[in-house]
Amino acid sequence: MLYKVRSLGLQGISGYEVTAECDLASGLPNFDIVGLPDTAVKEARERVRSAIKNNGYPFPVGRITVNLAPANLRKSGTIYDLPICVGILAASGQLTWSDPHCAFVGELSLSGTLRPVVGMLPMALAARDAGIQRLFVPADSAPEATLADVLALKAKTGHSTVAITEDATPTGKLLGLVTSRDYRITRMSTDIPVREFMTPREKLITAPAATTLKEANDIIWDNKLNALPVVDDQDHLMYFVFRKDYAEHKEHPLALQDADKRYLVGAGINSKDYAERVPALVEAGADVLCIDSSEGYSVWQKKTIDFIREKYGDTVKVGAGNVVDREGFRYLARAGADFVKVGIGGGSICITRETKGIGRGQASALIEVAAARDEYYKETGVYVPICSDGGIVFDFHMTLALAMGADFLMLGRYFARFDESPTNKLMVNGAYVKEYWGEGSNRARNWQRYDLGGKNDLAFEEGVDSYVAYAGSLHDNVEKSLYKVKSTMCNCGVINIPDLQKNAKLTLVSATSIVEGGYHDVTLRTTGGGQ
């Protein structure tokens, strides 16, 4: 009988998932371990054999083969003793267990007791990334992480507060806490165990599970804390409440959050793997979904919306697009889209028009679709908002898009410039830039967004790989952009977007008028000092 047990391994300072495939077959007694094991791993045969017998279980008679996958990576150390033992007991019918979301790591003594292993922290991170929900490890292993592990975790996540739990999982029994105040890199060796410098559990101030957010904030302020762990009745870690979250909430009262103080999150889907992607996103807590494609006016998007409505009714908000005319909008509105994106080829990284010969000027598309939206509302009483997607380079373009009828805006290029964008910040030709590429580019590898019922790859590109000028922090720039929009609205004598759309005057201008719009016929004074 074949049984698979999830485990973890170490490659340098990084963890990765390992599967112990334990096969028990008839034949002459034999016990082999394959998958590039080193001497310590091969010696697991004797430790596992003795541990099973000394715990009162019969060691199975037959041919036992254990493969540690992936077989192309060398396995070292004693961390695979426990998963091998569990696999053999399960394959021989002595252990009934079937949880695909748990993993085992640990060294066995000959008596069957567990001994701690090193490198638990990077393995725990790998477990989280692999979707492992429960990690069984020796009780003493979690605190055996070192300062080097903490520094690696900080570099990877950007977070300086690290909870130390009994089983190295996010919800394990709380053993201590490490913050940047607990260590000094210049004065401590990086191999010092976490248990020697962490703040132990007995010195931590915690809050019970029933604590409200207001009560948690009061505890933080009364005790001058930066972080408050919230634990259950068994002292298992449930949440963290941070002082900075309170401060940021007060500083940014307009942040989009739900009733549980969580940021509202949108996610892109496509018309290819929606049956798998949508349930996963809904389960993860996505607040709104958007079909990301240049083929908005298509039966594929209707099928995607039909699936969502059949499975979730109106509880899941989904947008569709992109379209550029009345017919496309009405098709998606009738299909049940909660909003519709407008624009084909107008984005700064979009080359759909020159590649496929379809698309339309963003202003023309937006004005026509806005009229179709209002027409549809008069006919049905259903208002389907529209999003202007593309054509926005300068801040005043936002105001123009709103005046032309957009309910909200897609600002890919705008947000790509900021620190908060997940792309790399680079120095190119003496200036700082941020990476920015289209979802229709080869770099994105998002072939699923172009579902035409054919082959499953990207036949040609509809986007480019590029850079945009680095612009600093999101908060400062968004604030400035909003001031400009509000100022223009005041100039138009309006105080809200519906009035702007009703009263704004759009005028076709000449090339001379564009020149007049900027500075001209003057010599700019330099302000950089000198003469």
Q: Would you name the residues annotated as active-site residues? A: 350, 449
**Residue pair 137/105 in contact by the 8 Å Cβ criterion:** yes
* CA–CA distance, 374 with 197 (Å, rounded to integer): 64
- Which segments of 131-230 does DSSP mark as H helices, in order? 147-157, 213-222
Residue 238 CB neighbours (<10 A): 16
Q: How many CA atoms lie within 13 A of 436 on its CB side?
A: 20
Tokens of 450: 């172009």
Encode burial over 52-71: b for 16+ CB neighbours within 10 A, e otherwise. beeeebebbebebebbbbee
SS3 content of the chain, % helix, strand, coil (to 5): 35, 25, 40
Residues 467, 448 contacting (CB under 8 angstroms): no
What is the spatial distance between Cα 113 and Cα 405, in angstroms, rounded to a whole number?
A: 70
Cross-strand bridge partners of residue 164: 176
CA angle 278–280–286, rounded 5-degree value:
75
Q: How many CB atoms lie within 10 A of CB 104?
A: 22
Of 209, 151, 210, 213, which Cα lies nearest the Cα of 178? 151
SS (HEC) of 281-324: HHHHCCCEEEECCCCCCCHHHHHHHHHHHHHHCCCCEEEEEEEC
**Phi and psi at residue 495, to the nearest 5°:** -125, 0
Residue 54 DSSP code: H
DSSP 446-491: -GGGS-SSS-SS--S-SB-EEEEE--B-HHHHHHHHHHHHHHHHHH
> Which residues on adjacent β-strands are paired with residue 21?
4, 67
Measured between alpha carbons, how far is residue 260 from residues 191, 263, 289, 320, 456 in Å? 40, 9, 20, 27, 40
Q: Quote the Cα angle for 380-385-390, to 5°.
A: 140
Alpha carbon distance 260, 256 (integer Å): 11
**Cα–Cα dist 421/438, whole Å:** 14
